[in-house]
Each structure stands twice: as structure tokens, then as C-alpha cells.
């Protein structure tokens, strides 16, 4: 008998106020129908000290609610201080760590870890190498088609997770785009990324939005919506779906995905509800259909 498909709440990628972020996790613990919750700074280590004091009580609240807690690592480690942080994270006992930089996977020393989406696992060889290092779960990059995902799930005994909701993390840089856009240096950024709690839209010269910026991170402008695809992907071996936190009602978003997976709600009805939950967002699912990522492909196309 196959185990039920699970929902993962990914780490908050944006610079939310520490108290607001704490309260967000408390609500996820008490109300959200998700199986795993990721906690930790992925984008910029300068943000870490603000939320760090709240992490023990957040972990305690989530664990008491029966959620699996996963500690997510930085996606780009560039300094001795960040390397020390990575070593400390890899030494944590009793919780899974998500490696978003290959150095963190190496620091795990063969102990179980989650291979994060920023490790860019596109083929069986990379997946096998990470499993040999200790990976027990892999979150695949969003650019893969359903056929490519099915090929990878068939080639591994690891849990395979697919990104199913929210703006997608595409790239990370040493430069801070948010600071540069305001004529500030990275060292003197004044934490202006907090002004854009869902990321700052970036437009083409023709004033068409096509990306979003989150500090040093480049993201998709469109929000991923795989409500119409999760059931078929689950049937092809995907065991987990990741929901990226946005400023909409994530408890309600998780409930929609759970209802679709349980066949309690039709995908089209769920998509209509999602549009009302996250007004103003533009949704896409092109990648999973082997099409350009910004497109939204209806189930009957």
C-alpha cells in the first residue's frame, strides 16, 4: 500500500519582520494541514540574527503540533562566518537539514539530509551522487517536465518532492539587486528587501513584468500553481509537494492542495478559489507541461 502524498511548507524566502514570521509559523503549526515545515534563512545571512532568537520556540510549537521540522541552509556560502553557520547547522542533532549549497551536503558527513531545490538535480547521476552522500529526500528544480520528473522518481528510492505553489527561486547572486535598485551598497543595504514581502517585480523595457527580485535572489514573477497537476504527478511517483510561503492565506492554500489530492475538490474549482485567495497574482504551470515556464496550461489542453 502506497503512503499518502505529503505537503511541505518551504522556508520563507522573503525578509518578513521577525515577530510576523514567528506568528506565521505558530499559525502553520496550529492550523495548516501540512506534514513538514522548513525553517531557516536561505537567501541572505544578514537577515539571520533577527529571527534566530525565535527559532527554538518555533521548532517547539511545530513539533508539538506533529509537524516534521526541517532546517534549511543558505543557498550561497561566501564567507568564513557563513561557513561556520553551515557547520553548526550540519551538526544539529534530531532534525533533518535541507542542503541548498553542496558544501552543506558535504558537511553532513553521510548523515541523512534533504537535497534542496537549489542544488539543481536534473538527472539520475546527480541524484545518485547526492543519495550516496546521505540524501533521503530531494526537491526537484521547477524547470523539469512531468516526464522528466517521472524518470527521476523511477530511478531512486528517495522521496521526491516537486514545487507546486508560489514564486519560484531561480538563482542566487553575490550581489544584492534590491539594494542596487535603490542606489545602496550590499553592505549598507538598510534591509530594503523587507519593503517587498513577496519580492520586487522586474519589468522588461516594454514594461512587461517577467521576474521578481528578493534581495540577492532572482525569482519567477508568476506564481507556480500545480493544482491541476498534483494528482497525476502523485500517480507517477511524486511523494511530496512543496508550497512556498507568500503573503496570502497559506493555511487555505494548503487546504486546497490537500482537498485536490484527496479528490474532495475538482482542480478547476480549487484554482478559482486560489485566485481569490491570492488576488493580483499571475499563475503559471508551463514547465511541468514541457512549455515555457510563464504559461498556464489548462488541464484539457
For residue 4, what pLDDT is reported? 82
For residue 109, what pLDDT is reported? 94
Answer whether residue 46 shows pLDDT above 90: yes
What are the extents of the domains in the chain? 6-168+223-279
What are the cell numbers at 137?
529526500
Answer whether residue 197 shows pLDDT above 60: yes
Answer whether residue 64 shows pLDDT above 90: yes
Answer whether residue 3 shows pLDDT above 70: no
For residue 84, what pLDDT is reported? 95
For residue 201, what pLDDT is reported? 93
Burial of 117-128, coded b for 16+ CB within 10 Å and e otherwise, reads bbbebeeeeebe
* Interval 168-188: pLDDT, tens: 999 999 899 889 989 998 889
pTM > 0.85: yes or no: yes
SS3 assignment, position 222: strand
Q: Which helix (H) or strand (E) holds 87?
A: helix 80-90
Answer whether residue 30 shows pLDDT above 80: yes
Q: What is the mean pLDDT of residues 2-21?
A: 92
Task: List, in sequence order, every residue forming a beta bridge with 6; answer none if it has no partner.
Answer: 240
Neighbours of 183 (CB within 10 A): 6
Q: What is the mean pLDDT of residues 209-222?
A: 94
Q: Which helix (H) or strand (E) holds 214?
A: strand 209-214
* Interval 115-150: pLDDT, tens: 999 999 999 999 999 999 999 999 999 999 999 999
For residue 1, what pLDDT is reported? 35
- Classify domain 6-168+223-279 at the CATH topology level: TIM Barrel (3.20.20)
Mean pLDDT of the chain: 95
Amino acid at each position: 500500500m502506497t503512503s499518502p502524498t505529503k505537503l511541505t511548507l518551504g522556508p520563507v524566502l522573503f525578509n518578513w519582520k521577525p515577530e510576523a514570521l514567528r506568528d506565521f509559523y505558530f499559525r502553520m503549526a496550529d492550523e495548516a494541514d501540512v506534514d513538514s515545515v522548513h525553517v531557516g534563512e536561505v537567501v541572505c545571512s544578514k537577515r539571520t540574527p533577527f529571527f534566530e532568537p525565535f527559532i527554538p520556540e518555533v521548532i517547539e510549537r511545530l513539533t508539538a503540533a506533529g509537524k516534521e521540522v526541517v532546517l534549511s541552509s543558505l543557498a550561497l556560502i561566501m564567507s568564513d562566518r557563513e561557513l561556520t553557520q553551515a557547520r553548526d547547522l550540519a551538526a544539529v542533532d534530531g532534525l533533518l537539514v535541507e542542503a541548498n549549497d553542496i558544501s552543506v551536503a558535504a558537511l553532513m558527513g553521510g548523515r541523512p539530509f534533504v537535497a534542496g531545490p537549489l542544488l539543481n538535480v536534473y538527472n539520475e547521476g546527480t541524484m545518485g551522487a547526492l543519495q550516496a552522500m546521505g540524501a533521503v529526500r530531494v526537491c526537484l528544480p521547477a524547470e523539469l517536465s512531468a516526464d522528466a520528473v517521472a524518470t527521476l522518481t523511477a530511478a531512486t528510492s528517495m522521496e521526491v518532492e516537486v514545487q507546486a505553489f508560489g514564486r519560484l527561486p531561480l538563482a542566487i547572486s553575490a550581489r544584492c539587486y534590491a539594494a542596487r535598485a535603490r542606489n545602496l551598497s550590499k553592505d549598507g543595504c538598510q534591509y530594503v528587501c523587507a519593503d517587498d514581502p513577496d519580492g520586487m517585480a522586474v519589468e522588461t523595457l516594454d514594461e512587461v513584468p517577467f521576474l521578481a527580485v528578493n534581495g540577492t535572489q532572482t525569482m519567477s514573477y508568476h506564481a507556480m500553481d500545480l493544482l491541476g497537476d498534483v494528482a497525476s504527478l502523485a500517480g507517477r511517483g511524486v511523494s511530496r509537494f512543496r508550497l512556498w510561503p507568500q503573503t496570502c492565506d497559506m493555511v487555505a492554500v494548503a487546504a486546497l492542495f490537500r482537498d485536490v489530492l484527496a479528490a474532495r475538490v475538482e482542480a478547476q474549482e480549487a484554482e478559482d478559489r486560489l485566485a481569490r485567495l491570492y488576488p493580483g497574482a499571475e499563475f503559471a504551470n508551463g514547465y511541468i507541461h514541457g512549455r515555457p515556464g510563464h504559461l498556464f496550461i489548462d488541464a484539457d489542453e
